[in-house]
Amino acid sequence: MPGRLTRYRKIIPDWEDFLTCSTRFLPVSVRVNTLRIAPEALAERLAQKGFHLTPIPWADDLFVVEGTKVAKTIEHWLGLFYIQEAVQTVPVRLLDPRPEERVLDLCAAPGGKCTQIAVRMENRGLLVANEPNGRRQPSLLASLNRFGALNASVTSYRGESFPLRVGFDRVLVDAPCSAEGTLRKERSLRGGAFTATIERLVQLQRRLILRGYDLLRPGGRLVYSTCTFAPEENEAIAAFLLGERDATIEPISLPFSSSPGIREWEGTIFPASITGCARIYPHQIDSGGGFVARFRKPS
């Protein structure tokens, strides 16, 4: 480390803090399934088993857990909580799904964000969880069943070919990416992603964001997210959608420290509205890293 990550030195604030945090232990955080239990009740149950839970200030359903093997508890198997990095809960918070809506999670496995959507919808309306990879579908189905997501329907289309017959109120495109933001738990990524990997994924990300946008009803909202730092997979994809469709960016305001989308990368100038996207770095949130963009289709 830092290896290929050095190319981000000019865009990551507090570079030395970023490097230090990236090698630190990643806190274990859990998201409460409020369909089944109140946050305070879960904290009390786990405390009785020797776990210490600290609330995360900007989210009323998130705790940092101290203690070993929280995944082995009966509370976990009963679907009372989901073990999830705090940063990974941000895209669904920005999607803001509501009861009775039609919502699509285009790349749904293993199910963390999908179960979060079901909770936010209060099990009312239609949630379509799409996952084309047959090896990842069992984990998605297990997560939905464990959480009691009664309004979810699982499909297996290639995301870029999802049928256009139905319009959705909200679409989440949590795109396959080079995953550099997971470097605190994936040591192999502490040197950064390979250029060839990024270039291959960009082609898929472009197709996914276009199809996700085309699946929106007029006035609908799309959230595009990744867990990587690469502008090619982030701002460049957001700018690509703006150039291909009539999308507008909804500026993002987060309740914790983050960074705006960048305007320029290696000679490419992005539209000014790209600064309304959000970059999240590990040292800003004491979690993983990622990127989020939020779009609206004209009514």
- Name the region of 168 (left: φ>0; alpha: ψ -120 to 50; beta: rest): beta
**What strand order describes the sheet that includes 52-55?**
52-55, 62-66, 28-32, 81-83
Secondary element (H or E) of residue 52: strand 52-55
Residue 122, token pair as written in the block: 């209060």
Q: Which of 21, 114, 177, 227 is catalytic?
A: 227
Active site residue 227: yes
Cα gap 179→198, rounded to integer Å: 10
- DSSP-derived 3-state class of residue 135: coil
The contacts of residue 299 (CB under 8 Å, 6+ apart) are 218, 219
Cα gap 177→43, rounded to integer Å: 34
Cα gap 90→98, rounded to integer Å: 16
Percent helix, strand and coil across the chain, each rounded to 5? Answer: 35, 20, 40
Residues designated catalytic: 227
